[in-house]
Amino acid sequence: MIAGIDEAGRGPLAGPVVAAAVVLCEPCPQGLDDSKKLSARRREELEKVIRNTCAFGLAVVDAGEIDRLNILAATMLAMTRAVALVEAQLPGAVLTTLIDGNITPQGRCAQWRWPARAIVGGDGLEPAIGAASILAKTWRDRIMIEAAARYPLYGWERNKGYGSKEHLEALRQHGPTPLHRRSFAPVAQVEMQL
């Protein structure tokens, strides 16, 4: 069985990195693509179909773990956890993984144990990776919208934790929250000035 894997949230200054792994069902959901090419509404529609008909795993690695490990290692860990969750749903299945990007967790995460192939632009080329892209993005967006209610000064419901002008200005004025990644330069620089 093929598990497609993608992540969301490697670049933001705040919030977790989220990875999803998906084994597609039959028939395959129609319209799967790179989540960034789809409207928010279309992503939400496809997310429901994927969650209701496919085997999937979602894994979240929070800002504290990102700071402790580094963003690459945290991303590899999230991917590993997501595949383990899929595998648990499919007893006896032998999984091969297709991963969006140019690297895999193989040799980078001690718990990784599946054959893996990286595909640059895979979220637009392989339907299973596209499905994972949709799940990871919608889940992470939801986390950041909920976080924006607790920390309303940073505009996370709009910028999802990325370093927008609004977010950077709020960071300078109010300092970092517990959800900020202190190992990321813009956050570390603000902390040094406080």
The pLDDT of residue 10: 97
Spell out the domain ranges in the chain.
2-193
What are the tens digits of pLDDT across the range 141-150? 999 999 999 9
| Cα–Cα distance for residue pair 133/7, rounded to 1 Å | 6
The pLDDT of residue 90: 95
* CA dist list (Å): 49 to 4, 52, 54: 16, 5, 8
Q: What are phi and psi of 65, to 5 degrees?
A: -65, -40
What are the tens digits of pLDDT across the range 61-93? 999 999 999 999 999 999 999 999 999 999 999
| Residue given tokens 């144990």 in the structure block | 113
- Minimal CA–CA distance to 183: which of 47, 68, 29, 73? 68
The pLDDT of residue 28: 85
CATH code of the domain occupying 2-193: 3.30.420.10
Q: What is the pLDDT along the chain (194 residues), one digit of tens a residue?
A: 999 999 999 999 999 999 999 999 888 888 888 888 989 999 999 999 999 999 999 999 999 999 999 999 999 999 999 999 999 999 999 999 999 999 999 999 999 999 999 999 999 999 999 999 999 999 999 999 999 999 999 999 999 999 999 999 999 999 999 999 999 999 999 988 87
For the entire predicted model, the pTM comes to 0.95
Asked if residues 124 and 34 have their Cβ atoms less than 8 Å apart, the reply is yes
Q: What are phi and psi of 52, to 5 degrees?
A: -85, -20
